[in-house]
Amino acid sequence: MGEARGAPAPLYGGQAVVEGVMMRGADHWAVAVRRPDGRIHVESHEIRSIQQRHPIWRRPGLRGMVVLGQSLVIGVRALMIAANVAAPEEERLTSRQAAASLVLALVLFLGVFILGPATLFAWFERRVGGGLWVNVVEGLFRVLLLVAYLWLIGRAGEIRRVFAYHGAEHKTIAAHEHGEPLVVERIDRFPKEHVRCGTNFLLIVMITTIFVFALFGTPPLPWRLVSRIVAIPLIAAIAYEALRLGARYSTSPLMRALMAPGLWLQRITTREPDADQIEVAVAAFREVQRREAEAAADRG
Q: What is the pTM of this model?
A: 0.85
Spell out a b/e string for 150-183, using b for 16 or more CB atoms within 10 Å of the CB, else e: beeebeeeebebbbbbbbbbbbbbbbbbeeeebe
In a domain, 8, yes or no: no
What's the pLDDT at 249? Answer: 78
Q: What is the pLDDT of residue 95?
A: 66
Domain of residue 178, residue span: 13-298
Establish if 282 belongs to a structural domain: yes
pLDDT number for residue 93? 64
Within-domain flag for 132: yes
What pLDDT is stored for residue 3 in this prediction? 36
Tell me whether residue 5 is in a domain: no
- pLDDT for the residue numbered 65: 81
Number of domains, the chain: 1
Confidence at residue 57, expressed as pLDDT on a 0 to 100 scale: 78
d(CA 123, CA 128): 9
Phi first, then psi, for residue 163 (nearest 5°) are -65, -30
**Quick one: pLDDT at residue 107?**
87
Side chain identity at 150, as an amino acid letter? L
Residues of the chain with confidence (pLDDT) below 70: 1-10, 88-95, 98, 129-131, 300
In a domain, residue 38? The reply is: yes
31 beta partners: 22, 43
How many beta carbons lie within 10 A of that of residue 261, not counting itself? 15
pLDDT at position 94 is 66
* DSSP of the chain: ----TTSPPP--EEEEETTEEEEE-SSEEEEEEE-TTS-EEEEEEE---HHHH-GGGGSTTTHHHHHHHHHHHHHHHHHHHHHHHHS-GGGPPPHHHHHHHHHHHHHHHIIIIIIHHHHHHHHHHHHH--SHHHHHHHHHHHHHHHHHHHHHHTTSHHHHHHHHHHHHHHHHHHHHHTT--S-HHHHTTS-S--TT-HHHHHHHHHHHHHHHHHHT-S--HHHHHHHHHHTHHHHHHHHHHHHHHHHHTTTSHHHHHHHHHHHHHHHHH-----HHHHHHHHHHHHHHHHHHHHHHHHT-
Each residue of 210-230: pLDDT tens digit? 888 888 888 888 998 998 898
- The whole-number pLDDT of residue 179 equals 92
Position 280 scores a pLDDT of 97
Distance CA 247, CA 252 (A): 10
What is the spatial order of strands in the sheet that 40-46 belongs to? 13-17, 20-24, 28-34, 40-46
Confirm whether 7 is domain-assigned. no
